[in-house]
Amino acid sequence: MNKLENDFLIIETSKAGAELTRIFSKALNKEILWNGDSKYWGRHSPILFPIVGRLKDNETIIDNNVYNMTQHGFARDMNFNLVDTADNSISYKLTSNEDTKKYYPYSFELIITYKLINNNVNIYWEVKNTDSNDIYFSIGAHPAFNIQSNVEDYYLKFNSRNNIENISLKGPFNDKYTKVDTLDRLDLSNDVFKNDAIIYTNIDEISLKSKKEDYFINVSFKDFPLVGIWSPYYKDTNTIAPFICIEPWYGLCDNINSDKIFKNKAFINKLKSQDTFNASYSISIEQK
């Protein structure tokens, strides 16, 4: 693990998946990020690339060839190279190779940077197209935040743009798009996640707040097309895991009626040869 620290926070990151594995608040003396207990979910904040969600039959068609990829892509399970460190930042890079091309034929570089600024963890993504042709990809975040008490004590506050839609799931695939007139607050409960993740378009910021705590977690992702909100749901006990994921995405799972052609996926990103895609989001711990 690699550690960054300032007067407010300690964070840890790993070369395995370039994953953020810890956020500790000094002021609160609390662990903010999920600890990765595999009893519930063995990850902390994986990078989703080059797909978000699941492919129909775990396969996709690129340039008339069929490729197999499991949910959320391969980047989260690959070792990145540590390429840059400073007092308040660290960067990792994954370069396409023989292994990645078994799943995804394009040449690329994926650079993930974490930077500590006061009470904020800023996360930067850079996708470089090193291929001779256009490439297509999705990328997403999946941080999980601890909840300290019953889920009913928590709610989400939204800062949104116009034309919000809720995208419902049928199994692991997207199905219906429903217009949402206003979205300010969502009270959480165990059955909120009965149908898997809640997905919205055109949200800029979500705060995870407790009715019993004097602090909250804010996730800011201005201009991202999508966000997913998730916790694993256990039908037998009508409970969820002790964490909530707030997941800014540039990409989406396959549609229930997908033709499996990769470049036809909803919210897919197209990048010209030698061009670079950049996006960033931030996590902060704020006092009420």
Angle (nearest 5°) at CA 72 between 272 and 156: 105
CA distance 261 to 61: 5
Tally the domains of the chain: 1
120: CATH = 2.70.98.10
Q: What is the pLDDT of residue 148?
A: 87
CA distance 161 to 183: 10
Q: What is the pLDDT of residue 245?
A: 98
**DSSP sequence for 81-135:** EEEEE-SSEEEEEEE--TTGGGT----EEEEEEEEEETTEEEEEEEEEE-SSS-E
Instruction: Please give the residue range of the domain that contains residue 134.
Output: 2-287
> Count of H helices and E strands in the chain?
0, 26
Per-residue pLDDT of the chain (288 residues; tens, 9 = 90+): 899 999 999 999 999 999 999 999 999 999 999 999 999 999 999 999 999 999 999 999 999 999 999 999 999 999 999 999 999 999 999 999 999 999 999 999 999 999 999 999 999 999 999 999 999 999 999 999 999 889 999 999 999 999 999 999 999 999 999 999 889 999 999 999 999 999 999 999 999 999 999 999 999 999 999 999 999 999 999 999 999 999 999 999 999 999 999 999 999 999 999 999 999 999 999 987
First to last CA, the chain: 32
For 244-277, how does the pLDDT look when each residue is reduced to its tens digit (9 = 90+)? 999 999 999 999 999 999 999 999 999 999 999 9
Q: What is the pLDDT of residue 177?
A: 96
Angle (nearest 5°) at CA 252 between 247 and 254: 145
Residue 160 φ/ψ region, left for φ over 0, alpha for ψ in the -120 to 50 degree band, beta for the rest: beta
CA distance 164 to 203: 7
Per-residue tokens: 88: 């308040």
pTM over 0.85: yes
Q: Which residues are CB-contacts of 92 (< 8 A; sequence separation ≥ 6)?
A: 13, 15, 18, 80, 81, 82, 83, 111, 112, 113
CA distance 265 to 226: 14
